[in-house]
Amino acid sequence: MRRSLAALLCFAAVPLAAQHDASKEGKPKNPAMGNPTAIASGQKLFVNSCAGCHGVKAEGGRGPNLRKRGVWHPLEDDALFTIIRKGIPGADMPASNFNEEQAWQVAAFVRALASPAIENPPPGNVQAGETTFWGKGGCSNCHRILGRGGMLGPDLSNAGATLAAEDLRESIVDPDADGFLRYKGATVVLANGTTLKGVARNRTNYSMQLQDAQGNLHMVDLSKAKQVDISDHSPMPRNYAQRLSKQEIDDLVAFLSRQSVRPFEPAEKK
Ligand code: HEC
Ligand code: HEC
Protein backbone atom coordinates (compact mmCIF):
# COMPACT_ATOMS: atom_id res chain seq x y z
CA MET A 1 0.00 0.00 0.00
CA ARG A 2 2.70 2.46 1.06
CA ARG A 3 4.81 1.59 -1.94
CA SER A 4 2.04 2.16 -4.38
CA LEU A 5 1.31 5.49 -2.75
CA ALA A 6 4.96 6.53 -3.17
CA ALA A 7 4.86 5.46 -6.80
CA LEU A 8 1.73 7.47 -7.28
CA LEU A 9 3.32 10.55 -5.74
CA CYS A 10 6.36 10.28 -8.04
CA PHE A 11 4.11 9.88 -10.97
CA ALA A 12 2.05 12.89 -9.92
CA ALA A 13 5.14 15.07 -9.44
CA VAL A 14 5.58 15.69 -13.15
CA PRO A 15 2.17 17.16 -13.92
CA LEU A 16 2.24 19.08 -10.63
CA ALA A 17 5.48 20.80 -11.62
CA ALA A 18 4.04 21.63 -15.02
CA GLN A 19 0.97 23.08 -13.37
CA HIS A 20 3.08 25.26 -11.13
CA ASP A 21 4.70 26.93 -14.14
CA ALA A 22 1.37 27.45 -15.82
CA SER A 23 -0.09 29.13 -12.75
CA LYS A 24 2.72 31.72 -12.84
CA GLU A 25 1.45 32.86 -16.20
CA GLY A 26 -2.24 32.85 -15.20
CA LYS A 27 -3.13 35.43 -12.55
CA PRO A 28 -4.01 33.96 -9.17
CA LYS A 29 -7.66 34.19 -8.25
CA ASN A 30 -8.71 36.55 -5.50
CA PRO A 31 -9.91 34.45 -2.54
CA ALA A 32 -13.29 36.21 -2.64
CA MET A 33 -14.13 34.64 -6.01
CA GLY A 34 -16.43 31.65 -5.54
CA ASN A 35 -16.48 32.15 -1.75
CA PRO A 36 -20.06 31.91 -0.39
CA THR A 37 -19.54 34.45 2.42
CA ALA A 38 -17.96 36.98 0.07
CA ILE A 39 -20.74 36.46 -2.48
CA ALA A 40 -23.39 37.10 0.19
CA SER A 41 -21.62 40.31 1.33
CA GLY A 42 -21.22 41.34 -2.32
CA GLN A 43 -24.94 40.87 -2.89
CA LYS A 44 -25.77 43.36 -0.10
CA LEU A 45 -23.35 45.93 -1.53
CA PHE A 46 -24.77 45.34 -5.00
CA VAL A 47 -28.35 45.93 -3.88
CA ASN A 48 -27.32 49.25 -2.31
CA SER A 49 -24.97 50.59 -4.96
CA CYS A 50 -25.65 48.91 -8.28
CA ALA A 51 -29.26 47.71 -8.34
CA GLY A 52 -30.56 51.21 -9.08
CA CYS A 53 -29.16 50.83 -12.61
CA HIS A 54 -28.69 47.09 -13.07
CA GLY A 55 -31.85 45.89 -11.30
CA VAL A 56 -32.18 44.15 -7.92
CA LYS A 57 -31.73 40.78 -9.62
CA ALA A 58 -29.20 42.23 -12.08
CA GLU A 59 -31.80 41.77 -14.78
CA GLY A 60 -30.87 45.09 -16.37
CA GLY A 61 -32.35 48.58 -16.54
CA ARG A 62 -30.33 51.67 -17.18
CA GLY A 63 -27.27 49.42 -17.08
CA PRO A 64 -27.07 46.03 -18.85
CA ASN A 65 -28.37 42.67 -17.65
CA LEU A 66 -25.46 41.00 -15.86
CA ARG A 67 -26.94 37.50 -15.72
CA LYS A 68 -27.48 36.33 -19.25
CA ARG A 69 -24.24 35.28 -20.82
CA GLY A 70 -25.57 35.92 -24.30
CA VAL A 71 -26.10 39.56 -23.39
CA TRP A 72 -23.18 40.02 -21.10
CA HIS A 73 -19.75 38.80 -22.14
CA PRO A 74 -18.03 37.51 -19.00
CA LEU A 75 -15.05 39.64 -18.01
CA GLU A 76 -11.76 38.50 -16.50
CA ASP A 77 -11.73 38.85 -12.71
CA ASP A 78 -9.27 41.77 -12.80
CA ALA A 79 -11.29 43.65 -15.40
CA LEU A 80 -14.44 43.17 -13.35
CA PHE A 81 -12.68 44.45 -10.23
CA THR A 82 -11.41 47.54 -12.08
CA ILE A 83 -14.84 48.33 -13.55
CA ILE A 84 -16.41 48.06 -10.10
CA ARG A 85 -13.86 50.41 -8.53
CA LYS A 86 -13.30 52.86 -11.37
CA GLY A 87 -16.52 52.65 -13.38
CA ILE A 88 -16.41 52.91 -17.16
CA PRO A 89 -15.09 56.32 -18.12
CA GLY A 90 -17.18 57.95 -20.81
CA ALA A 91 -20.08 55.54 -20.31
CA ASP A 92 -22.89 55.92 -17.81
CA MET A 93 -21.26 53.59 -15.29
CA PRO A 94 -19.89 55.49 -12.28
CA ALA A 95 -16.91 54.67 -10.05
CA SER A 96 -17.78 53.25 -6.62
CA ASN A 97 -16.28 54.12 -3.26
CA PHE A 98 -15.73 50.50 -2.22
CA ASN A 99 -12.45 49.51 -0.65
CA GLU A 100 -10.53 46.62 -2.24
CA GLU A 101 -12.16 43.94 -0.13
CA GLN A 102 -15.66 45.21 -0.85
CA ALA A 103 -14.93 45.54 -4.57
CA TRP A 104 -13.79 41.91 -4.65
CA GLN A 105 -16.94 40.84 -2.81
CA VAL A 106 -19.08 42.59 -5.42
CA ALA A 107 -16.95 41.06 -8.18
CA ALA A 108 -17.54 37.60 -6.66
CA PHE A 109 -21.28 38.26 -6.59
CA VAL A 110 -21.38 39.49 -10.20
CA ARG A 111 -19.32 36.50 -11.32
CA ALA A 112 -21.64 34.09 -9.52
CA LEU A 113 -24.64 35.58 -11.34
CA ALA A 114 -23.45 34.31 -14.68
CA SER A 115 -21.50 31.17 -13.94
CA PRO A 116 -22.47 27.64 -12.95
CA ALA A 117 -23.73 27.24 -9.41
CA ILE A 118 -21.22 24.49 -8.67
CA GLU A 119 -18.37 27.01 -9.05
CA ASN A 120 -20.04 29.35 -6.55
CA PRO A 121 -21.72 27.05 -4.04
CA PRO A 122 -24.57 29.00 -2.44
CA PRO A 123 -25.26 28.73 1.30
CA GLY A 124 -27.86 26.21 2.40
CA ASN A 125 -27.94 22.69 3.72
CA VAL A 126 -27.35 20.24 0.87
CA GLN A 127 -28.67 17.24 2.79
CA ALA A 128 -31.84 19.00 3.89
CA GLY A 129 -32.36 20.13 0.29
CA GLU A 130 -31.98 16.57 -0.92
CA THR A 131 -34.64 15.41 1.54
CA THR A 132 -37.05 18.14 0.39
CA PHE A 133 -36.37 17.33 -3.26
CA TRP A 134 -37.32 13.66 -2.92
CA GLY A 135 -39.97 14.27 -0.26
CA LYS A 136 -42.02 17.27 0.79
CA GLY A 137 -41.22 19.37 -2.31
CA GLY A 138 -42.53 16.69 -4.67
CA CYS A 139 -39.82 17.74 -7.12
CA SER A 140 -38.99 14.17 -8.04
CA ASN A 141 -42.53 13.60 -9.31
CA CYS A 142 -41.43 15.58 -12.35
CA HIS A 143 -37.63 15.74 -12.32
CA ARG A 144 -35.01 13.05 -12.63
CA ILE A 145 -31.55 12.99 -11.15
CA LEU A 146 -29.25 10.23 -12.38
CA GLY A 147 -32.08 8.08 -13.66
CA ARG A 148 -34.37 8.38 -10.65
CA GLY A 149 -37.56 10.47 -10.61
CA GLY A 150 -40.30 11.67 -12.97
CA MET A 151 -40.24 12.72 -16.58
CA LEU A 152 -42.49 15.78 -16.87
CA GLY A 153 -39.73 18.31 -16.39
CA PRO A 154 -36.09 18.58 -17.40
CA ASP A 155 -33.51 16.14 -16.05
CA LEU A 156 -31.62 17.94 -13.26
CA SER A 157 -28.59 15.61 -13.04
CA ASN A 158 -26.35 18.38 -14.36
CA ALA A 159 -28.26 21.40 -13.05
CA GLY A 160 -25.39 22.74 -10.92
CA ALA A 161 -22.97 22.67 -13.83
CA THR A 162 -25.33 24.37 -16.27
CA LEU A 163 -27.36 26.90 -14.30
CA ALA A 164 -26.30 29.78 -12.05
CA ALA A 165 -27.53 29.67 -8.44
CA GLU A 166 -29.88 32.61 -8.99
CA ASP A 167 -31.37 30.86 -12.02
CA LEU A 168 -31.97 27.73 -9.94
CA ARG A 169 -33.70 29.81 -7.31
CA GLU A 170 -35.79 31.65 -9.86
CA SER A 171 -36.83 28.39 -11.53
CA ILE A 172 -38.23 27.24 -8.18
CA VAL A 173 -39.99 30.38 -6.96
CA ASP A 174 -41.04 31.85 -10.30
CA PRO A 175 -41.13 29.15 -12.99
CA ASP A 176 -42.54 31.43 -15.67
CA ALA A 177 -39.85 34.08 -15.12
CA ASP A 178 -37.59 33.00 -17.96
CA GLY A 179 -40.39 33.93 -20.30
CA PHE A 180 -40.08 31.07 -22.70
CA LEU A 181 -41.81 27.78 -22.42
CA ARG A 182 -40.36 24.53 -23.54
CA TYR A 183 -42.94 22.57 -21.62
CA LYS A 184 -46.65 23.29 -21.74
CA GLY A 185 -48.90 21.51 -19.33
CA ALA A 186 -51.76 19.64 -21.01
CA THR A 187 -54.91 17.91 -19.83
CA VAL A 188 -56.94 15.83 -22.26
CA VAL A 189 -60.25 14.05 -21.69
CA LEU A 190 -60.55 11.21 -24.20
CA ALA A 191 -63.81 10.07 -25.85
CA ASN A 192 -64.04 7.17 -23.37
CA GLY A 193 -63.81 9.56 -20.42
CA THR A 194 -60.19 8.82 -19.49
CA THR A 195 -58.26 11.90 -18.40
CA LEU A 196 -54.59 12.22 -19.35
CA LYS A 197 -52.31 14.77 -17.74
CA GLY A 198 -48.81 15.69 -18.68
CA VAL A 199 -46.88 17.90 -21.05
CA ALA A 200 -47.69 18.53 -24.70
CA ARG A 201 -44.82 17.33 -26.86
CA ASN A 202 -45.27 17.33 -30.63
CA ARG A 203 -48.48 18.94 -31.63
CA THR A 204 -50.17 19.53 -34.96
CA ASN A 205 -53.72 20.74 -35.63
CA TYR A 206 -54.92 17.13 -35.52
CA SER A 207 -52.82 15.27 -33.07
CA MET A 208 -50.66 15.71 -30.04
CA GLN A 209 -48.16 13.60 -28.17
CA LEU A 210 -48.80 13.88 -24.49
CA GLN A 211 -46.12 12.69 -22.12
CA ASP A 212 -47.27 11.73 -18.64
CA ALA A 213 -45.25 11.83 -15.42
CA GLN A 214 -44.18 8.21 -15.88
CA GLY A 215 -42.67 9.15 -19.23
CA ASN A 216 -45.30 7.30 -21.31
CA LEU A 217 -46.15 8.96 -24.61
CA HIS A 218 -49.82 9.02 -25.60
CA MET A 219 -50.74 9.86 -29.18
CA VAL A 220 -53.97 11.83 -28.94
CA ASP A 221 -56.32 12.31 -31.90
CA LEU A 222 -57.51 15.84 -31.14
CA SER A 223 -60.66 15.52 -33.27
CA LYS A 224 -61.84 12.65 -31.05
CA ALA A 225 -60.93 14.08 -27.66
CA LYS A 226 -63.77 15.43 -25.53
CA GLN A 227 -61.74 18.18 -24.01
CA VAL A 228 -58.23 19.54 -24.52
CA ASP A 229 -56.61 22.11 -22.25
CA ILE A 230 -53.15 23.31 -23.04
CA SER A 231 -51.76 25.72 -20.52
CA ASP A 232 -49.74 28.84 -21.23
CA HIS A 233 -47.81 28.16 -18.07
CA SER A 234 -45.07 25.83 -17.11
CA PRO A 235 -46.59 22.76 -15.45
CA MET A 236 -44.23 23.40 -12.57
CA PRO A 237 -46.23 24.52 -9.51
CA ARG A 238 -46.12 28.29 -9.05
CA ASN A 239 -46.65 28.36 -5.30
CA TYR A 240 -43.35 27.05 -3.93
CA ALA A 241 -42.52 30.50 -2.51
CA GLN A 242 -45.56 30.04 -0.26
CA ARG A 243 -45.42 26.26 0.25
CA LEU A 244 -41.79 26.11 1.28
CA SER A 245 -39.90 28.27 3.77
CA LYS A 246 -37.02 30.50 2.68
CA GLN A 247 -34.66 28.05 4.39
CA GLU A 248 -36.14 25.09 2.49
CA ILE A 249 -35.69 26.93 -0.80
CA ASP A 250 -32.09 27.86 0.09
CA ASP A 251 -31.46 24.20 0.89
CA LEU A 252 -32.96 23.05 -2.44
CA VAL A 253 -30.79 25.55 -4.32
CA ALA A 254 -27.74 24.30 -2.40
CA PHE A 255 -28.61 20.68 -3.24
CA LEU A 256 -29.21 21.40 -6.94
CA SER A 257 -26.05 23.49 -7.18
CA ARG A 258 -24.03 20.34 -6.37
CA GLN A 259 -25.58 18.31 -9.20
CA SER A 260 -22.97 17.76 -11.87
CA VAL A 261 -22.41 14.71 -14.04
CA ARG A 262 -18.68 15.38 -14.05
CA PRO A 263 -16.71 15.94 -10.85
CA PHE A 264 -16.03 19.62 -10.29
CA GLU A 265 -12.46 20.89 -10.31
CA PRO A 266 -11.83 24.45 -9.13
CA ALA A 267 -10.42 26.58 -11.96
CA GLU A 268 -6.93 26.95 -10.43
CA LYS A 269 -6.35 23.22 -10.50
CA LYS A 270 -7.31 22.68 -14.14
C1 HEC B 1 -25.74 55.09 -12.86
C2 HEC B 1 -26.01 53.75 -13.33
C3 HEC B 1 -25.06 52.61 -12.96
C4 HEC B 1 -24.66 52.23 -11.69
C5 HEC B 1 -24.98 52.85 -10.35
C6 HEC B 1 -23.84 51.05 -11.91
N7 HEC B 1 -23.75 50.74 -13.25
FE8 HEC B 1 -22.73 49.20 -14.07
N9 HEC B 1 -23.16 49.86 -15.93
C10 HEC B 1 -24.00 50.93 -16.22
C11 HEC B 1 -24.03 51.13 -17.65
C12 HEC B 1 -24.83 52.17 -18.38
C13 HEC B 1 -23.19 50.14 -18.22
C14 HEC B 1 -22.87 49.93 -19.70
C15 HEC B 1 -21.68 50.77 -20.02
C16 HEC B 1 -21.24 50.54 -21.44
O17 HEC B 1 -20.56 49.53 -21.67
O18 HEC B 1 -21.56 51.39 -22.26
C19 HEC B 1 -22.68 49.36 -17.10
C20 HEC B 1 -21.83 48.29 -17.25
C21 HEC B 1 -21.48 47.43 -16.23
C22 HEC B 1 -20.78 46.20 -16.39
C23 HEC B 1 -20.43 45.54 -17.70
C24 HEC B 1 -19.17 46.00 -18.26
C25 HEC B 1 -18.87 45.23 -19.55
O26 HEC B 1 -17.93 45.62 -20.20
O27 HEC B 1 -19.56 44.27 -19.87
C28 HEC B 1 -20.62 45.64 -15.15
C29 HEC B 1 -19.94 44.32 -14.81
C30 HEC B 1 -21.23 46.55 -14.23
N31 HEC B 1 -21.74 47.62 -14.91
C32 HEC B 1 -21.28 46.33 -12.86
C33 HEC B 1 -21.75 47.27 -11.95
C34 HEC B 1 -21.63 47.13 -10.52
C35 HEC B 1 -21.08 45.90 -9.82
C36 HEC B 1 -22.15 48.27 -9.98
C37 HEC B 1 -22.22 48.65 -8.51
C38 HEC B 1 -20.94 48.77 -7.85
C39 HEC B 1 -22.61 49.11 -11.06
N40 HEC B 1 -22.34 48.47 -12.24
C41 HEC B 1 -23.22 50.35 -10.89
C42 HEC B 1 -24.67 51.71 -15.29
C43 HEC B 1 -24.49 51.67 -13.92
C1 HEC C 1 -45.57 19.12 -11.96
C2 HEC C 1 -44.22 18.94 -12.40
C3 HEC C 1 -43.09 19.67 -11.69
C4 HEC C 1 -42.81 19.71 -10.33
C5 HEC C 1 -43.60 19.09 -9.19
C6 HEC C 1 -41.57 20.45 -10.20
N7 HEC C 1 -41.14 20.86 -11.42
FE8 HEC C 1 -39.44 21.91 -11.80
N9 HEC C 1 -39.94 22.03 -13.77
C10 HEC C 1 -41.03 21.39 -14.34
C11 HEC C 1 -41.02 21.70 -15.76
C12 HEC C 1 -42.03 21.20 -16.79
C13 HEC C 1 -39.93 22.55 -16.01
C14 HEC C 1 -39.48 23.14 -17.34
C15 HEC C 1 -40.36 24.27 -17.76
C16 HEC C 1 -40.02 25.52 -17.07
O17 HEC C 1 -38.95 26.09 -17.39
O18 HEC C 1 -40.79 25.92 -16.21
C19 HEC C 1 -39.26 22.73 -14.72
C20 HEC C 1 -38.10 23.47 -14.54
C21 HEC C 1 -37.32 23.40 -13.40
C22 HEC C 1 -35.97 23.93 -13.31
C23 HEC C 1 -35.19 24.60 -14.43
C24 HEC C 1 -34.50 23.54 -15.22
C25 HEC C 1 -33.85 24.05 -16.48
O26 HEC C 1 -33.13 23.24 -17.11
O27 HEC C 1 -34.06 25.21 -16.86
C28 HEC C 1 -35.54 23.68 -12.03
C29 HEC C 1 -34.19 24.03 -11.43
C30 HEC C 1 -36.62 23.01 -11.34
N31 HEC C 1 -37.67 22.87 -12.21
C32 HEC C 1 -36.57 22.59 -10.02
C33 HEC C 1 -37.67 22.06 -9.34
C34 HEC C 1 -37.68 21.83 -7.92
C35 HEC C 1 -36.51 22.07 -6.97
C36 HEC C 1 -38.93 21.33 -7.61
C37 HEC C 1 -39.48 20.97 -6.26
C38 HEC C 1 -39.47 22.03 -5.25
C39 HEC C 1 -39.66 21.23 -8.86
N40 HEC C 1 -38.87 21.70 -9.87
C41 HEC C 1 -40.95 20.72 -9.00
C42 HEC C 1 -41.93 20.58 -13.73
C43 HEC C 1 -42.02 20.40 -12.35
In DSSP notation, 141-185 reads GT-EETTEE-SSS---TTHHHHS-HHHHHHHHH-TTTT---S-EE
Cα(57) to ligand 1 centroid in Å equals 14
pLDDT (average), residues 47-63: 93
* pLDDT value of position 202: 79
* pLDDT value of position 27: 72
Q: Does domain 126-178+236-262 have CATH number 1.10.760.10?
A: yes
Neighbours of 252 (CB within 10 A): 27
Q: For the CA atoms of the chain, what is the radius of gyration? A: 23
Q: What is the pLDDT of residues 165-188, one digit of tens each?
A: 999 999 999 887 765 567 788 899
Q: What is the pLDDT of residues 182-237, one digit of tens each?
A: 778 889 999 999 999 988 887 788 888 888 888 888 999 988 899 988 887 778 88
* pLDDT value of position 180: 54
* pLDDT value of position 44: 96
CATH class, range 36-115: mainly alpha
Under the banding of pLDDT at 50, 70 and 90, the label for residue 11 is: very low
Which residue, judged by its Cα, is nearest atom 39 of ligand 2?
Answer: 139
Under the banding of pLDDT at 50, 70 and 90, the label for residue 255 is: very high
* pLDDT value of position 4: 46
Domain boundaries, the chain: 36-115, 126-178+236-262, 186-227
pLDDT (average), residues 20-41: 76
Q: What is the pLDDT of residues 56-113, one digit of tens each?
A: 989 899 998 998 866 567 788 999 999 999 999 888 899 999 999 999 999 999 999 9
- Whole-number mean pLDDT of the chain? 85
Residues with CB under 6 A from ligand 1: 46, 49-50, 52-54, 62-64, 66, 72, 75, 80, 83-84, 88, 91-94, 96, 106, 110
Q: Convert 149-176 to b/e letters by CB count within 10 Å (16 or more is b).
A: bbbbbbebbbbbbbbbbbbbbbbbbebe
Q: Do domains 36-115 and 126-178+236-262 have the same CATH topology?
A: yes
* pLDDT value of position 51: 95
Q: Which residue has the higher pLDDT, 119 or 252?
A: 252
With the most atoms of ligand 1 within 8 angstroms of its CB, the residue from 41, 46, 53 to mutate is 53
Q: Which helix (H) or strand (E) holds 38?
A: helix 36-49
- Can you tell me the distance from the alpha carbon of 131 to that of 251, in angstroms, rounded to the nearest whole number? 9
| pTM across the whole model | 0.81
Which residue, judged by its Cα, is nearest atom 26 of ligand 2?
Answer: 154
* pLDDT value of position 121: 85
Cα(59) to ligand 2 centroid in Å equals 21
CATH of 186-227, one of 2.30.30.100, 3.20.20.70, 3.40.50.150, 3.40.1280.10: 2.30.30.100
Under the banding of pLDDT at 50, 70 and 90, the label for residue 267 is: low
